[in-house]
Each structure stands twice: as C-alpha cells, then as structure tokens.
Structure 1
Amino acid sequence: MNKDNEKVRVFIWSLFDFANTSYSIVVVTFLYAVYFKQTVLSRQPIGDFYWSIGTSVSMFITALISPILGAIADYSAGKKRFLLVFTLACIISTSLLYFVNKGDVFLGLLLFIIANVGFEAGLVFYDSFLPELTAPKNYGRVSGYGFAMGYLGSLTTLAIVYPFITNNLIKESFPISALVFLIFSLPLFLFLKENKNNIEKKESFLRIGFFRVFNTVTNLKKYKNLTLFLISFFFYIEGVNTVIFFSGNYATTTLNFSLGQLIVFFLIVQSTAILGSLLFGFIADSFGQKKSLISSLIIWIFTILIAFVTSDKNSSVVIRVSNYFNITIEQFGNYSFYFVGLLAGSVMGATQSTSRSLMSKLTPFDKKTEFFGFYSFFGKSSAILGPLVFGYVSFISGDQRLAILTINIFFFIGLFILTYVKDN
C-alpha cells in the first residue's frame, strides 16, 4: 500500500471518530445524561436507576446483534452499508431528543436507546476497518490516532454548544450534536473504499450470519488466547463504560457541580485523553499492547480510589488537606475531581484504543468483522452489568460514593485475567 495513500485513508477513517464523539460527549457523558436526571426526572434519586436501565437495554440489544451483523458484513463486504444505517439511526434519534421535556421518561429513554444502539453497533463495522488500513506493527498508533481525533471532536463539539449551554438552551445542543456527527462522518462514506468479496449470494444474509457465528462459537477452542483476552476485556471495559455513563451525574449529584464546572471538567478529560491516546499508541507498538493495557488499568484503579476518598466531605484526610492549603472542603473536592478527570482522561482513550489494536493483532484477518462483532458483544454486554450495579447501589444506599467503589471490582478482575493473555 502506498504510504501517502495509507495516510489519507487513515485520516478519512479517523474523521469518523471525530464525528461520532459529538454524540457520546453531548448525549452519553455530559449534557443529556445530566438533563435526563435533573430536568426529565426533576433530580429524583431514581434517575440514576432509570439511566442505568437505558444504557443497559441499549447495550444488551447491541450485544445480541453485533456478532451476527459482523459475520454478515464479512461475508458480503458490506461494512459501509451497515455503518451508514446505524449512523443515521443515531443521528436522527439524537436530533429528536430536542422534543423530550419534563416527565417524558419513556420517550427520553426510548430515543436514547435507539441512538445508543446506532452508535455502538456502528462501531463494530468502523473498528473492523483497522486491519485494512495499515500493517499490524502500526495498529497501536493508528488506533490511537483515531481515539485522539475522537477526543479532538469532543472538544470541538463542546466549543460549538458552549453558547447554547451558557444561555440555558440545553435541548438545542442535541440537534447540533447530530449535525456535527452527520457532517464529519460523510468523508468515510464518500471516499473510503473497503475490500470486496466476490461471493454469489445463494443464501439469506440472516442465515449466513447465524451459521458463521455458530461456527465461530463452536471453534473458539482454536482461539484460546483471543477468548481469554475477550473475557478480560469484558470485565475491565465494564469499569470504563460505567465511568463514561455516570461521571456527569456523579459530579452534579455528589459534588454539586454547576454546568460551568462540568464544562471545565470535561475539557480536562478530553484534552488529556488526546495526549493519552497518542502516547499509549506509541507505547503499545514499542513495548506491547498487553503491557500498555496493564499500565492503564493500574492508573484506573488508582483514579477510582482518589475519587472515592476525596469526595467524602467528612473525611479526616480531606479536612486536613483542606486546612493545609487554606481552602474550603468544597474547593478541595472540586480541585480533586478535576485531578481525577486528568487521570481518567489520560487512560480513557488509551485503554479503548490499545484494546482495539490488540484485538486486531489477535484476530484472523478473514474473520475480522465477525470477531470484532464478538469484541463488541463482550464490550457491550459488559456495559449492561456495570451501570446497573452502579445505579442500583446508588439508589438503595442513596450514596454514589459507595456505587463508585463497585467500578474497581471490574478493573481488578479484568487486570488479573489479562496477565494470562499472550502478547507476542
């Protein structure tokens, strides 16, 4: 492959990461997540539980369909076609969130579920382009470029919707986010070519999909190392997904962050995520994806513990440190959470991008989309349990600090299993 041509293809591909994070930052992580609890549910504690139901249902649907869709796409070389369908589903549903008002719990959840299924299922086909773009030795950095572009897209989207936020036009930010997604996703559909399979379609795509998935499942014993990685991925990405879904709600509920403070927090997260994605991409290619992942998970565990300790206003540690620096306990809590955002951002994109590059490395090339369907299955099905555990513990205890500790359980289990994965 011509190097200049490869660079162009990688840039066009990474623009989709730039595009789709306009949805994830506005809807999943920040504005709609907060709007749903504060406005739609009038700050009721059960808001966390309802939000966890929405995320879990959408992830459950995605987990069910991803392997089948991936197998069909491998057979028909129809990645772009499927990606377009799910992208449009996400964009249209995100635009319609504008019509969700106070008390519209069912409508708010339904549109969010459709949008999130579109977003998450589309990633199956987007991620599977990676092995076609570059050589295996470059998977880490190319995957890192994609996530760095994604977080750059988040920063750009935040800058675009900032005037709407300051003028309390929160609902208007949802169609704006959808428009950004639409515009910057177009280059992939217009200019990026995929490898074609010359296959006569003698059977229905649905039957082919089920047959290939069944065949892969029954032959998983041939891919023991890949299976071990997917199980590890299931647990540690559980923690990452839960942080993404609940960080905004945690900041507003437990720390009483204003929208202005939330903007600062997410600017910190997105900025450090760009650097982290690029840095860990080079580390992964130079020292190995497994070592890079282990490092990121250790940082995650440390980050969750800091968030737990520093958000307790009655803690002797918090009181002593606040007195030492001559600041109020509230100020110390805010500054500490900004530091938590810095740490989380540095490994958020890194964990996801390194996982994607290791998956590309371990996957048979002729089954790339099908196996990325299973990668999505493990990732999305994991996001069913984590948010539900967080939402349920938060609801029954009335304390999000206890709920945040459950995240580290998943990081510990994932880290332990990862140590047994072979990374050549």
Structure 2
Amino acid sequence: MSAQEETVTQAITQDGDHLTVSGGTPASSLGRFSWAMFDFANQPYYTLITTFIFAPYFASGFIGDAVRGQELWGYTQSMAGLVIALGSPILGAIADQTGARKPWLAFFSLVFAAAISCLWFAMPGAPEGAFFIMGAVVVAAFSMEFAIVFNNAMLPAIVPEKKMGRLSGFGWGIGYVGGLIALFIVLLLMVANEETGKTLAGLAPILGLDPALHEADRFTGPMTGLWFLLFILPLLLFTPDVPRTRMKLSEAARKGLAQLGHTLSSLGRFRNIALFLISRMVYYDGLAAIFAFGGIYAAGTFGWKIETLAIFGIVLSIFAAIGAFAGGRLDDAIGSKRTIVLSVTGLVLSVLLAVSITRDEIFFIIAVPPVEPGGAPFSSLAEQVYLLSGILIGVFGGPAQAASRTLLARLAPASMMTEFFGLYSLSGKATSFIAPFAIAVATGIYESQRAGLAVIIGFLVIGLLGLLFVREERSAAL
C-alpha cells in the first residue's frame, strides 16, 4: 500500500462519516442530488428504447416479424456489447490520468443524443433500412455506457463510504421515476387511438403524431435524446469534479493503457475484486437481457401494442423505483453483497415465472383461456401472471444494479477507483454480446421467443454462484 493510499484509508476508517473514499470533502446536498440526476436523465433510454416501446416496435412493427425481430435485436445488442467491452476499460484508465470526468461525460452525451434521435427514421414496413437503425442503436448504446463509466467513477469522490449505498440506491430510484414520467408522457400525450385519434387523456397527440405510421414509437428516439441532455445539466453544473491535469491526451492514452495493462496483468493480486467482476459480468448479462427482451417477448406472445406496453412499463417502473429506494437502505444496513445475493435470487425466480407463460399456458403445464385479440389490457390470466413476473423483476432489478456499483466502490483501492470502474463497466459488458447472441441463436434455431428468453436463467444462476465467494472488504493498492 502506498503512503497516500494508507493515509486515505486511515482517514476513511477514522472519520467515515465526514470524508469521501478519496479522502476529500463530500459534495454538498445539491452536488449529490445532481449526481443522482444522471440516472433520472438516462433511465428513459432503457425504459422507452431498450425495454418497453422501441425494442418491441423494432421487432413486431419495423421488422414485422416478432421472432426475426427478436433475433436481429439480439445481434444488435451483441455488437454494441462488443464495442463497449473493448472501449470501457481503456477510457477509464485514460480518465485516471487526465483527472476530470465531466468533459468525457459531456462528449459521449452529445454523441448519444445524436444517435438515438436517428430512430425517428425507423419507418414501418421499411425493414430495408434495418442496418441503419441497428447502427444507430449500437452507437447510442456504447455512448451511453461510456458516459456511465465516468458518472460511476464520480461516486467515491462526492460522498462518504458509509453513505454510498444510500446515494447509489437513491440514484436508481429517481432514475425509475424518470422512466415512469417518460412513460406517462408517451401514454397520455403521444399515443393516439387509431379509431378516435385521441390519447388516453382525451387529447390530440402532441406534434400531430400519426398512429398509422407509428410516429409515437419512433419519436421516443429524439425525445430520449432531448430528455438526457436536459437532465444531465445539474450534474455538469453543480456536482464537483476532480481537478483536470495538464497531461496531453496522447500521453494520457499511453500511460492509461500502460496502467490498464499493468492492472490486468496484476489482477491475481486483486483476486477478490476479479471474482466479483467476473460474477457481476455474468449475472449482469442476464439482468440486461431481461430488460432488453422482456417487452419484445410480451409483444410477440400477447400481441401487445404501444398502449399496453406503456402501461406495463409504468407498473414495472413504480415497483422498480420502490425496490431501488428500499435496496439502497438495505445495502447500507446488511451490506452490498447480501443485497445483491437476495436480488439476483429473486430475479432467477422471476424470469423462470416469465418463461413459464405463453398465450394459453402458465407454470409450463396449466392450460388457461387464450388471450382474446383486441381484448382489454391484462384481461387474460396469462397476461396477469406475466405482469406479476414483470413486477417482481422490477422489484429485484433495481437493488441488484445499485448495490453492484456500491460493492465495487467498497472493494476497489481509492487511488485506482476510475480504473476499476472502467473494469466494472467491462464486467458489465465484456460478455454482454454473448447473452443477446445466445438469445438470438436460440430464437433462430428453435423459432421460438420462449426458447430465447430461457437462456437468461443460466446467466443469472452462474453469476450468483460466483458471487457467493466474494469477500466484502477493500483491497490495497499495488
């Protein structure tokens, strides 16, 4: 342990309520709240684009074939995961050399907003443009994840260690609130009934969005980009950043890559962190796949349209927010590892329940009346049980994600925090192309969305088993 690291560690131990992990003064309440607003800003991307609205539209509306659409979406997410896997640890290492995180975060935020806005061009019945849309999705995905690397790396410098779990959980919680608000905007102001031409609130759709052309589905792209740029402003304005060094980018890249190589070659000395990162890599692949394919599966299985998907998303977001807020307090009370174990176990059972459901069957063997075409939302027993599985996924998903980033902040050496958060992003994305790829392959081979969704369970179980051997203690720096 270096002298600086030892001093910081002693300070944290002696005054854990008043110093950050890096040994500095915690950010103000406004600064911490503004940091959490990043989750509020980015959640509509996951809620509207990758889960409830655009992804199901991509499969069933844009491509026009739910099975083929799920397969193509799987390959798209797989490609994005590969780019993220290669780039995230490099960027984290470079950031450790250049200091300030905000300039990087702002740059990738702009790239994300530009790419996600291109989804407006996903015209229904024009699948010949699939590669352009798939490319835009890939660019948006890796830009968002790269921004998250730098946002996560700011956490240990703005709040005392004993309060990281609560702030992380609060961030996830208000993130789900942001997703919930975005879904209400879509449902009440954007989605018009094709017969009446009015939204659920009895209003004409904003901007004259045409339901016949699925303009509400497509407008979620530019809406998400504008939302993100607007709500990251508090972070950029009020959350303190570490000082920027005078080091040139080329020199920072060289030193950062050298340090990254040294860290990777020395992971044997960080075996506990390595075990956590590998375990998290696997269970997070499954968790990400749940949100990426749950809405697609529902749209293909039950024929849900945008209105029903939006209602489904609103219900899940409410319970996910509750789970995230409660999970943050649970994290500080019983520890990050125990919180994750409980959450991932709940996710395994929830996905198993979801996979057991078809249009006319629940729990794999119990026949139920099939879904009536054109029926009221959630009017069939199969839909109601699927809704229950979604609620459980929401409740357990928030704590699993929030406690994971808190656990790394508790394990990593203070002087190598950004570097390890780069590896953390790598652990979330290094194999993230495998889960979507496996889902795509299984879907294509068996010509079944159900077979593809079942793949997720294996990722969750393997990651959970590895996590059981992780010790919740901070490692010393090299």
Task: Please say whether Structure 1 and Structure 2 have the same fold, judged by a TM-score greater than 0.5.
Answer: yes
Match of 2:429 among 380, 386, 394: 380
Counterpart secondary structure, 1:129:
helix
Structure ID, larger Rg: 2
- The one-letter amino acid of 2:115's match is S
CA contact (8 A) 1:318 1:332 kept: no
Structure 1 residue 312 displacement after superposition = 6.2
Structure 1 residue 201 displacement after superposition = 4.4
Match of 1:165 among 191, 195, 210: 191
Match of 2:417 among 344, 354, 368: 368
Match of 2:366 among 315, 318, 326: 318
Counterpart secondary structure, 2:367:
helix
1:211-236 deviation digits (Å, cap 9, x = unpaired): 11101111112211000000110111
Where does residue 419 of structure 1 map in the other structure?
468
CA contact (8 A) 1:312 1:318 kept: no
Where does residue 266 of structure 2 map in the other structure?
219
Q: So what's the TM-score if we normalise by structure 1?
A: 0.94
- The one-letter amino acid of 2:366's match is V
* 1:43/1:292 CA distance change after superposition, 3 Å: same
Residue 244 in 1 paired to residue 291 in 2? yes
Structure 1 residue 93 displacement after superposition = 1.0
Match of 1:298 among 345, 360, 385: 345
Match of 2:145 among 93, 97, 120: 120
Q: So what's the TM-score if we normalise by structure 2?
A: 0.83
Please tell me the root mean square deviation across aligned C-alpha atoms, in Å.
2.2
CA distance in 1 between partners of 2:146 and 2:30 (Å) = 25
1:289-342 deviation digits (Å, cap 9, x = unpaired): 1111111111111101111223362467533799xxxxxx97011101110111
Counterpart secondary structure, 2:339:
helix
Structure 1 residue 116 displacement after superposition = 0.8
Residue 111 in 1 paired to residue 136 in 2? yes
Structure 1 residue 30 displacement after superposition = 2.1
Structure 1 residue 202 displacement after superposition = 9.3
CA distance in 2 between partners of 1:257 and 1:97 (Å) = 21
Structure 1 residue 416 displacement after superposition = 0.8
* 1:202/1:313 CA distance change after superposition, 3 Å: closer
CA contact (8 A) 1:311 1:333 kept: yes
Where does residue 7 of structure 2 map in the other structure?
none
Residue 185 in 1 paired to residue 185 in 2? no
CA distance in 1 between partners of 2:220 and 2:245 (Å) = 44
CA distance in 1 between partners of 2:283 and 2:252 (Å) = 33
1:256-309 deviation digits (Å, cap 9, x = unpaired): 223222112111111111111111111111111111111111111110111122
CA contact (8 A) 2:105 2:147 kept: yes
Counterpart secondary structure, 1:134:
coil
Structure 1 residue 388 displacement after superposition = 1.1
CA contact (8 A) 2:96 2:256 kept: no
CA distance in 1 between partners of 2:456 and 2:122 (Å) = 30
Residue 92 in 1 paired to residue 114 in 2? yes
CA contact (8 A) 1:66 1:376 kept: yes
CA distance in 2 between partners of 1:44 and 1:416 (Å) = 33
Where does residue 62 of structure 2 map in the other structure?
40
* 1:306/1:206 CA distance change after superposition, 3 Å: same
Where does residue 325 of structure 1 map in the other structure?
none
What aligned pairs does 1:121-140 form with structure 2 within 5 A after superposition?
121-140=146-165
CA distance in 2 between partners of 1:213 and 1:268 (Å) = 42
Residue 13 in 1 paired to residue 35 in 2? yes
Where does residue 202 of structure 2 map in the other structure?
none
**Unaligned residue ranges in structure 1 (runs of 5+):** 323-328
Structure 1 residue 209 displacement after superposition = 2.1
Larger fraction in helix: 1
* 1:99/1:7 CA distance change after superposition, 3 Å: same
Query: Percent of counterpart pairs with the same letter?
Result: 29
Structure 1 residue 380 displacement after superposition = 1.0
Structure 1 residue 75 displacement after superposition = 1.0
Residue 149 in 1 paired to residue 174 in 2? yes
Q: Count matched residues.
A: 420
CA contact (8 A) 1:21 1:153 kept: yes
Structure 1 residue 248 displacement after superposition = 1.1
CA contact (8 A) 1:148 1:277 kept: yes
CA contact (8 A) 2:285 2:459 kept: yes
* 1:198/1:261 CA distance change after superposition, 3 Å: closer
Counterpart secondary structure, 1:195:
coil
